[in-house]
Each structure stands twice: as C-alpha cells, then as structure tokens.
Amino acid sequence: MPRFSPVVLPVLLAGALAACSSTNEDKTAGWSPDKIYAEARDEMNSNAYDKAVPLLEKLEGRAAGTPLAQQAQLEKAYAQYKGGEKAQAVATLDRFMKLHPASPAYDYALYLKGLVNFNDDLGLFSWLSRQDLSERDQKAAKDSFEAFRELITRFPESRYAPDARQRMTYIVNSLAQYEVHVARYYFERGAYVAAVSRAQNAIAEYKDVPATEEALYILVRSYDALGMEQLRDDARRVLLASYPQTPLLDKGFRPKGDPWWKLW
C-alpha cells in the first residue's frame, strides 16, 4: 500500500474534494428559464436526448406554474421516448395529464402516449425485418389503442385525430392477425381443437379485418382434420361467400411474413 508524506496527503484530499465539488456543480444555476429551454432544444436537435432530459427537469422546476413548465414536461416525455426510455415517457405523460387536465395540449399528450406504445410494439416499419406486431407482445398495442381511442373520443377535431384513427385500424388488424398466428401455430402442430378456438375468436372479436380470410381457412382445414364434415362445409361456404377470389383453398397458407397491411 503506498505511503504519502504529511504534506502530500492534504494536497490529495483537497484535490479530491475539489473534483467532487466540480462534479456536482449545477451549470444552470445562473441561467434563465428561456436559456435552459434553448439549451434543451439544442440537445434534442442534436439527438442528445439523455442530455436534454435533465435540462427539461430543471426547467420544469424553475418555471413551475407557467405554461413553460407544462411545455417542459411534454418535451421531456418526447425526449424520453426518442431516447428509448419508453416507460419513463409514459409515466411523465400520465403525470402531465393528472396535473393539467384542462391543458390545451392534452390531446397531444394522449397522442404521444399512444405513439410511445405504438412505436414500441407495433413496429411501423417492421416489414424490413419481415415481422409485424401480430408476432410480438400485445399489451403495448392495446395500451396504444386505448390512448388513441380516448384522443379521438374527447378531441375528434384534434390535428392528431386523423393519424390516430389510422393507427387504430392498424392495431385492430394486428391484434386479429395475432389470433390467426396462434391458430395457425396450433393447426400446424395437430392441435386442431385449439386451432378452431383461436380462429373462431379472431372472427368473433374483430370484424371486417384482413385476418378473417385466413381464420376461416383454418376452420375449414381444422374441421376437415377432425372429421367434422358439416362444419367444414359450412366454414368453406362462408369463406367463399366472403372472399370469392381467395387463393387459400387452392394454394394453401400464405408464406409467413407476407405483409397483410399497407403503410398509410
């Protein structure tokens, strides 16, 4: 263990204390709220979201009780979202909506909350990796749907409502396709009763969605495998009546990963 002379030791201690002091120094101490906001915006524009968040937290405290403080909360939620801190972003938005139920930006808060969960688990551009929401976790999708639904219900004229409606359509289609993925999984493993159950659930829960075609086809195949000829024929008639040009009866299942939706 190294030894220090009585003269060197106090010098080292003083240096360590000075380092701690400089580390904890608040560089924003003398800044105005406007300067803090400008610095936070610069960090966000540079994609330095981790640096923007603490600045926006400072701003929220300094500008408490003003519209700027509300703006700081919303910008912090956006920075957390863009920085990959999805749970923190949702918590920030929930706090904002609880504290400011009459805010003119409430519709944006709902939209951003829906977008946080939508981007997390729906994967808007997931076709690049041949994967869609229907093969991923469903909770975030449902949370996203609820936020968008509240937005269009409470603020139907909001500038964010049209996009929210389109995203809701995508979510419903995806949740239906999830049921079909599961039904197909069971069918391919010979669990025909389970396949029927999930396919029927997709048909009953989600109306007029692209997944219905494959759900009906799974019913046809599963009932056939179970030897239930009457139910097979009934399902076949419904499939042909609903989708006269369906290729499934002749060609079988579509390749997995084929997109069933289109970007808006």
Express each pLDDT in 230-255 by its tens digit.
Answer: 999 999 999 999 999 999 999 999 87
Query: What separation in angstroms does the CA of 236 have from each of 205, 229, 243, 247?
Result: 20, 10, 10, 13
Cβ–Cβ < 8 Å for 192, 183: no
**pLDDT at residue 255, rounded to an integer:** 78
Express each pLDDT in 102-161 by its tens digit.
Answer: 999 999 999 999 999 885 444 444 433 444 444 455 788 889 999 999 999 999 999 999
Q: What average pLDDT does this structure show over 157-168?
A: 96
CA-angle at 178, arms to 118 and 228, nearest 5° = 165
Q: How confident is the model at residue 30 (pLDDT cuts 50, 70, 90)?
A: confident
Number of Cβ within 10 Å of residue 245's Cβ equals 5
pLDDT at 177 over 50: yes
Q: How confident is the model at residue 7 (pLDDT cuts 50, 70, 90)?
A: very low
pLDDT at 49 over 60: yes
